[in-house]
């Protein structure tokens, strides 16, 4: 008898599932750690969730016997007001990752290609492999390891359906500029979706960062992807959104499942958007702590990339997996970056106590 898995689509053999950061409970269980574990692996908000979001969640918990609003009406209305677009230009997903998937399901088939930079967010490759499509993946820019929109423009072929751009880039934290993006949006064929994945936009302070809304207004193939997982502190609820033309949004509705966004996530996101104080507090803390970490990493003599996000890409003189393992034993979870960046870790910026402990542990591990 044929093995059951051989019934699956052939192209799935190529798919390597996403490797998330190690959860705190898993490390405690595996290593029997009974002291505080610090997770610096998944770029979550170190301050926790927005207090306004928490307040509404407590109130709405009693209603979870009801299905959520399948339309996400109030959240779409709020986002439409904030971004100056119509409600029909907003698609809400179960995390922005779901939207990356749905874009693949809706727009990409086996004969198509998708462009993204190698060394960027892994989900672009995963969904392309799931659809059995071809990846055209040029490298990141040499000088700063940011996504390279010009190289992506050169990667567009007749059968290209989507260009994905993480800006700032996960896992390097660096960005491409408005001018670079402009070249791509002005010259790319109008039937290629240009997806600007701006998961970390609230942390950006670079003045030359692309104003993607100005592109969006002019070019119907431009889409902007955002998440509530980072600055809003709602990663566990899974919610993100896409801003795109009505026909793109309508197409995504055809492939999503009903009630894809749970009710608590909808309420929490709505109130988190109003919590400007929390957003500002988070950004201020991250900026201050990034400066602290830059100073300390410099003292240790480690190479890092100045970041436009809430994480830092740090390089080590030896294979980073070894450093990662040693840090785990001290109760710190970071993110090794695999074969592409064998000497680097991606480290989420913590609070001062956590960052001081990280630096102390790095010194111990590196024997400095
Ligand atoms: C560039 C980028 N896009 C999308 C996501 C996914 O976010 P979400 O939690 O909304 O699925 C992440 C998460 O780390 C990310 O770094």
Q: Which residue ranges in the chain fall short of pLDDT 70?
A: 1-2, 4
Euclidean distance between CA atoms 255 and 262, whole angstroms: 17
**Quick check: is 300 in a domain?**
yes
- Whether 32 and 117 map to the same domain: the answer is no
Tell me what pLDDT residue 3 has.
73
Cβ burial of 265 (10 Å; 0-12, 13-18, 19+) is buried
Residue 257 makes CB contacts below 8 A (sequence gap 6+) with: none
Distance from residue 367's CA to the centre of ligand 1 (Å):
34
Tell me what pLDDT residue 109 has.
97
- Whether 141 and 156 map to the same domain: the answer is yes
Distance from residue 192's CA to the centre of ligand 1 (Å):
22
For the CA of 227, the closest atom of ligand 1 is 10
CA nearest neighbour of 82 among 72, 94, 74: 74
**Quick check: is 9 in a domain?**
no
34 φ/ψ sector (left φ>0, alpha ψ -120 to 50, else beta)? alpha
Domain boundary among the residues 275, 297, 312 is at 275
Euclidean distance between CA atoms 100 and 166, whole angstroms: 12
Round to the nearest angstrom and report the end-to-end CA distance of the chain. Answer: 59
**Quick check: is 263 in a domain?**
yes
For the CA of 43, the closest atom of ligand 1 is 14
Tell me what pLDDT residue 32 has.
83
**Quick check: is 8 in a domain?**
no
Tell me what pLDDT residue 33 has.
83
CA nearest neighbour of 355 among 310, 303, 293: 293
Tell me what pLDDT residue 4 has.
67
Which residues' Cβ are closer than 6 Å to ligand 1?
Answer: 43, 95-97, 121, 166, 170, 197, 199, 227, 229, 235, 240
79 φ/ψ sector (left φ>0, alpha ψ -120 to 50, else beta)? alpha
Tell me what pLDDT residue 30 has.
86
Domain boundary among the residues 275, 298, 315 is at 275
Tell me what pLDDT residue 1 has.
59
**Quick check: is 185 in a domain?**
yes
Q: Which residue has its alpha carbon closest to ligand 1 atom 13? A: 199
What is the chain's length? 368
- Whether 166 and 117 map to the same domain: the answer is yes
The answer to whether 263 and 121 have CB atoms below 8 angstroms apart is no
Q: Which residue has its alpha carbon closest to ligand 1 atom 7? A: 96
- Among 199, 223, 268, residue to substitute to test ligand 1 (most atoms within 8 Å of Cβ): 199
For the CA of 121, the closest atom of ligand 1 is 1
In the DSSP assignment, the letter for residue 12 is G
Distance from residue 38's CA to the centre of ligand 1 (Å):
20
Number of domains within the chain: 2
- Whether 191 and 290 map to the same domain: the answer is no
**Quick check: is 129 in a domain?**
yes
pTM comes to 0.96
Q: Which residue has its alpha carbon closest to ligand 1 atom 12? A: 199
- Whether 199 and 297 map to the same domain: the answer is no
- Whether 293 and 250 map to the same domain: the answer is no
């Amino acid at each position: 008898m044929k093995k059951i898995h051989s019934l699956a689509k052939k192209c799935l053999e190529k798919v390597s599932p996403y490797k998330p950061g190690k959860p705190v409970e898993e490390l405690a269980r595996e290593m029997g750690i009974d002291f505080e574990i610090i997770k610096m692996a998944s770029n979550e908000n170190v301050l926790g969730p927005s207090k306004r979001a928490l307040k509404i969640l407590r109130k709405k918990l009693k209603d979870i016997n009801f299905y959520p609003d399948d339309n996400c009406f109030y959240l779409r209305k709020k986002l439409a007001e904030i971004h100056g677009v119509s409600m029909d230009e907003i698609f809400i997903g179960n995390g922005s990752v779901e939207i990356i998937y749905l874009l693949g399901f809706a727009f990409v088939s086996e004969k198509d290609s998708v462009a993204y930079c190698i060394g960027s967010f892994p989900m672009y490759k995963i969904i392309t492999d799931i659809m059995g499509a071809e990846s055209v993946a040029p490298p990141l820019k040499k000088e700063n390891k940011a996504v390279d929109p010009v190289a992506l423009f050169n990667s567009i072929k007749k059968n290209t359906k989507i260009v994905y751009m993480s800006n700032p880039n996960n896992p390097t934290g660096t960005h491409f500029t408005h001018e670079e993006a402009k070249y791509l949006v002005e010259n790319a064929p109008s039937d290629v979706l240009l997806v600007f994945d701006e998961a970390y936009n609230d942390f950006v302070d670079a003045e030359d960062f692309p104003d993607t809304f100005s592109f969006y207004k002019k070019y119907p193939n431009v889409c902007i992807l955002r998440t509530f997982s980072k600055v809003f502190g709602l990663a566990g609820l899974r919610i993100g959104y896409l801003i795109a033309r009505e026909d793109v949004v309508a197409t995504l509705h055809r492939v999503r499942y009903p009630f894809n966004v749970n009710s608590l996530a909808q309420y929490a996101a709505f109130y988190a958007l109003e919590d400007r104080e929390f957003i500002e507090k988070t950004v201020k803390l991250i900026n201050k702590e990034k400066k602290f970490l830059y100073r300390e990493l410099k003292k240790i003599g480690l190479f890092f990339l100045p970041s436009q996000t809430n994480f830092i890409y740090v390089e080590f003189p030896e294979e980073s997996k070894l450093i990662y393992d040693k840090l785990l034993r001290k109760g710190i979870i970071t993110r090794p970056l695999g074969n592409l960046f064998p000497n680097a870790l991606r480290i989420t910026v913590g609070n001062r106590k956590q960052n001081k402990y990280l630096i102390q542990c790095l010194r111990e591990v590196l024997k400095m």
